[in-house]
Amino acid sequence: GAPAHALSPATGLDWTPIAPSTEDAVVIPEGFEQDVVMRWGDKLFSSAPDFDPANQTAAAQEGQFGYNCDFLGFFDVDAETEIMMVNHEYTNPNIMFPGYEPGNPTREQVEVEWAAHGLSVVAVKKTVGTGELTPIVDHELNRRFTATSDFEMTGPAAGHDLLKTSADPTGTKVKGTLNNCAGGLTLWGTWLTSEENFNQYFANAAAIDDPAAVEAYARYGLPEGETDRRWENFDDRFDLSKEPNEANRFGWMVEVNPWDPTSTPKKRTAMGRFKHEAGNMNVGPDGRVAVYMGDDERFDYVYKFVSDAPMEQANAKDGGNPNADLLDHGTLYVARFTGDSPEAEIDGTGAVPSDGKFGGTGEWIKLVHGDESFVPDMTAAEVLIHTRQAADKMGATKMDRPEDIEPSPMTGHVFMAMTNNTKRTAADADEANPRGFVTEDDASTNKHGHVIELIEDGDDATAETFTWEILLLAGDPNDPGSYYGGFDKSQVSPISCPDNLTFDEYGNLWISTDGNKLDAHDGLYAVPLEGEERGRVMQFLSVPIAAETCGPWVTPERVNVAVQHPGEDDEADFDTHVSTWPDGDYPRPSIVTVWRTAAEPTPTPSQEPT
């Protein structure tokens, strides 16, 4: 028979939204079924032992699925097989290890953490007619990358003095990738994975005997003294007083070719260094590609990289990769947003201005192109390595935590999740970040975040100017400071803290959340972008206690999410679980698949004949 269809051919969204949930479960709409695809500790290789968390070793973890799954992407291998790409952003050692003492980890625990970070490439077998996915242990394309795997620095800053260490005098060979958050797939069959909060791993930034280095690390939030994780106790490269440049080798966009199991992933210096959140690509009319990127920090920036050369129509899957160096040569831009409503009407409350919407124009400010810097008093390599300081100098717009930024494959319009910003004051509000507080407990503080739509001028992804408008000001629909695309707020699912984005085949936007401030768990939501239903947010699923919803992936057959950090709780330990998902025991970050089982879709109320 026909394959199960997760979505209707009509609107794509013919299911009844779930209610906000606080269950310790993945809650899905009626008519759907779910399964766990892969959990922390599941094997990629038969040489790895069965998962035994009370006796976990680094050697075991290196052959097993890592911790805190985040980005999730798939490539087709054949009709029955896909490869699944997963980021393992970070670890929660207090709940991973029996007897973990915060501030005093053992070497074995830290080495397990190194092996539980990084990336997984796992082939999965599909069950035709359902959304079930089964990992294929020992598949030739399976790989684990960890905090100690080999990575190569490429592009204009590779080999710069600021990237050299005692272990790597070339400034081009790095051990590991860290805090890989979201990411994206390229148009040539490779994977972009983003190094985000790398600052937390490196100790003693204030102890470096170089005021410029101290200042630069301070701008990236590196700890002045010891780290919470104490990795510096076991490897000097995590101690900046001994190895002052090591942290400059993290905070990059990384490209992985999953089709060549011998390939070394590349850290692409041409794309700048910041707390990279994601990288999603579109192609301009002349074939040059644009990659949209966010720097997830309160008051940081939205960036775009445009390649010098047009991409070649080719897929790395087919062997060879003519686009292998495309992301080493190009221009890095940062965004400035200009509002077009009377300034006095942007008062921090989120009240829609008199012209009917938050919106305006904007420009991509050139920072650097190859060896040419456009930033006063900074060389090109300095702009690429200290990108935040470069953007500060150029007057970019300070945003409310830019997370996933992704162009619609249907329209090319770029959607940008701003997760939240509890530090913006009403006086600092601007039209692109229009909520801020007058007093600390003010409901108009942007604790719920927002989503912006950016339209490149001429619908050209490589353009240097754009228009924009706010699609959603998340939060309680009853709050006058929330905005749901102009849709009737009495008919929407409440959403808070938009984080990762994806699109379905109908062009609907799907949004996962991180940190729901509406007294319910995080979840996954769909929202139509066109026509009368624009802004009608519908909740599709909800995740277990203390979990974040990551990596949404939506196809006609299934919906996938990464359930990240279930049971995360600083007060908990290995024996005390605030979540027991997914096995009824200790919590395990896991990938979930959801598919439609009902023969007839359940119509939503607004689609019933009236």
Query: From the CB of 48, what's the least distance to Ca ion, in Å?
Result: 25
Q: Which residues of 356-382 are buried (b: 16+ CB within 10 A; e: fewer)?
A: ebbbbebbbbbbbbeeebbbeebebbb
The least distance separating ligand FEO from the CB of residue 247, rounded to whole angstroms, comes to 18
Q: Which helix (H) or strand (E) holds 525?
A: strand 523-527
Q: Does 113 contact ligand FEO by CB under 6 A?
A: no
CB of 81 to ligand FEO, least distance (A): 29
Binding mask 150-189 for ligand FEO (x = CB under 6 A): -------------------------------x--------
Least Å distance between CB 296 and ligand FEO?
Answer: 3
Amino acid at 138: D
Ramachandran quadrant class, 80 (left: phi over 0; alpha: psi -120 to 50; beta: rest): alpha
Give the shortest CB-286-to-ligand FEO separation in angstroms.
32
Beta carbon of residue 383, minimum distance to Ca ion (angstroms, whole number): 26
Tell me the C-alpha distance between 525 and 452, whole Å: 16
Residue type, 76: D
Residue 397 backbone phi and psi in degrees, to 5: -85, 125
Please list, residue by residue across 215-228, b when 16 or more beta carbons sit within 10 angstroms of its beta carbon and e when fewer do: ebbeebebbeeebe
Least Å from the CB of residue 7 to ligand FEO? 27
Cβ distance to ligand FEO smaller for residue 24 or 403? 403
Partner whose binding site includes residue 196, from ligand FEO, Ca ion, none (CB under 5 to 8 Å by kind): ligand FEO
- Residue indicated by tokens 């950016």: 454
Distance of CA 200 to the CA centre of its chain: 17
Partner from Ca ion, ligand FEO, none contacting 28, C-beta within 5 to 8 A by type:
none
- Residue 300, interface with Ca ion (CB under 5 A)? no
Neighbours of 276 (CB within 10 A): 32
195 near Ca ion, judged by CB under 5 A: no
Query: x-or-dash pattern for ligand FEO, window 183-212, by CB under 6 A?
Result: -------------x----------------
Q: Which two tokens stand for residue 374?
A: 């456009």
CB-nearer residue toward ligand FEO: 300 or 479: 300
C-beta closer to Ca ion: residue 240 or 561: 561
The one segment of 136-144, 149-157, 347-355, 401-409 that binds Ca ion by CB under 5 A: 401-409
In the complex, the smallest distance separating the C-beta of residue 183 from ligand FEO, rounded to whole angstroms, is 11
Using the minimum distance from each CB to ligand FEO, give the nearer residue, 86 or 181: 181
Name the minimum Å distance from CB 403 to ligand FEO: 5
User: Using the rule CB under 6 A, is 277 a contact of ligand FEO?
Assistant: yes
Q: Does residue 430 bind ligand FEO (CB under 6 A)?
A: no
Binding to Ca ion by residue 404, rule CB under 5 A? yes
For residue 479, state whether it binds ligand FEO (rule: CB under 6 A): no
> At closest approach, how far in Å is the CB of 556 from Ca ion?
18
The residues, ordered by sequence, that sit 6+ positions from 295 with a Cβ below 8 Å of its Cβ are: 274, 275, 276, 277, 301, 302, 303, 388, 402
* Size of interface with ligand FEO, in residues (CB under 6 A): 6
Q: What does DSSP assign to residue 200?
A: G
Asked if 183 contacts 194 with a C-beta cutoff of 8 angstroms, the reply is yes
Q: Which residues contact 379 (CB under 8 A, 6 or more apart)?
A: 373
**What is the rounded CA–CA span in Å between residue 276 and residue 302?**
10
DSSP string covering 481-523, please?
T-EETTS-GGGS--B--EEEEEE-TT--EEEEESS--SSS--E
Least CB distance to ligand FEO at residue 91 (A): 13
Q: Does 89 bind ligand FEO (CB under 6 A)?
A: yes
Q: In whole angstroms, what is the distance from residue 446 CA to residue 423 CA?
A: 8
User: CB under 5 A: which stretch of 352-360, 375-383, 407-415, 497-505 binds Ca ion?
Assistant: 497-505
Q: Minimum Å distance from CB 236 to ligand FEO?
A: 27
**Of 219 and 329, CB closest to ligand FEO:** 219
154 versus 194: smaller Cβ distance to ligand FEO? 194
- Of 110 and 181, the one with the shorter C-beta distance to ligand FEO is 181
Going by C-alpha positions, the residue among 458, 432, 434, 455 that lies closest to residue 446 is 434
> Judged by CB under 6 A, which of 132, 195, 296, 504 binds ligand FEO?
296
Judged by CB under 6 A, does residue 403 bind ligand FEO?
Answer: yes
How far apart (Å, rounded) are the C-alpha atoms in residues 329 and 290? 12
Given Ca ion, ligand FEO, none, residue 400, with its beta carbon under 5 to 8 Å by kind, binds none
Q: Which helix (H) or strand (E) holds 524?
A: strand 523-527
- How many other C-beta atoms can be found within 10 angstroms of the C-beta atom of residue 130? 17
In whole angstroms, give the CA distance from residue 40 to residue 66.
5
DSSP state of 130: S
Nearer to ligand FEO, 35 or 196 (CB): 196
Cα–Cα dist 582/562, whole Å: 12
579/577 Cα distance (integer angstroms): 5
Q: Which does 404 bind (CB under 5 to 8 A by kind): Ca ion, ligand FEO, none?
A: Ca ion
CA 86, CA 11: separation in Å to the nearest integer?
29
CB of 253 to ligand FEO, least distance (A): 14
Counting contacts by CB under 5 A, is residue 499 touching Ca ion? Answer: yes
For ligand FEO, the closer of residues 154 and 199 by Cβ is 199
Q: Which does 547 bind (CB under 5 to 8 A by kind): ligand FEO, Ca ion, none?
A: none
d(CA 290, CA 444): 34
| Amino acid present at 506 | Y
Asked if 62 is part of the footprint of ligand FEO (rule: CB under 6 A), the reply reads: no
Q: Which residues bind Ca ion (CB under 5 A)?
A: 404, 406, 499, 501-502
Contact footprint for ligand FEO (CB under 6 A)? 89, 181, 196, 277, 296, 403
